[in-house]
């Protein structure tokens, strides 16, 4: 069996409606009163060629509920967001290494004439020894986010 990975999927409302419709159809046609998906092509897709265990009727129900709950429109820029600083940042990849891999996000707002100038100004502020140490967001491979305040030593 393949190791389970969490995927970040971005779809528009129309695509989400199609996914939900397909899941409900699959639930109704293939998962009613049976543990085995009768349609071999659908079983092959649902198990990723036999490398995964297909979702049960109840698991498809839970997935549809979760997709509906998590499909709220994204907030307007500057609005208070449930994710840190309104950004979606994926987990670092799993890798075999002596030390775990972390993804570190440094978020800063700067006024600038263009994107390049904004990046240059942010970099100057990040590397200026006189700047106040920032709060960084550190994401581990399991998806846990840790705020680290470097000024709180």
Q: Please report the pLDDT score of residue 121 as a whole number.
A: 93
Read off the pLDDT band of 133 (50, 70, 90): confident
Quote the tokens at residue 130: 């006189």
Quickly list DSSP for 42-83. HHHHHTTTTTSPPPPHHHHHHHHHHHHHT-PPPPPTTS--SS
Mean pLDDT over the full length of the chain:
82
Domain ranges of the chain: 13-69, 84-149
Cβ atoms within 10 A of the Cβ of 20, count? 15
Q: Please report the pLDDT score of residue 137 as a whole number.
A: 87
pTM comes to 0.47
């Amino acid at each position: 069996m393949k190791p389970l990975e969490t995927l970040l999927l971005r779809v528009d409302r129309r695509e989400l409606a199609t996914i939900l419709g397909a899941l409900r159809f699959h639930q109704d046609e293939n998962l009613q009163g049976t543990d085995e998906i009768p349609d071999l092509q659908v079983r092959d897709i649902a198990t990723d060629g036999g490398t995964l265990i297909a979702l049960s009727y109840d698991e498809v129900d839970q997935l549809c509920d979760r997709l509906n709950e998590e499909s709220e429109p994204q907030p307007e820029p500057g609005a208070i967001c449930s994710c840190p600083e309104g950004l979606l940042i994926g987990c670092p990849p799993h890798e075999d290494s002596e030390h775990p891999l972390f993804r570190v996000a440094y978020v800063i707002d700067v006024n600038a004439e263009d994107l390049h100038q904004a990046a240059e100004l942010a970099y100057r502020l990040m590397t200026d020894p006189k700047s106040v140490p920032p709060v960084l967001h550190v994401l581990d491979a399991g998806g846990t986010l840790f705020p680290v305040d470097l000024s709180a030593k």
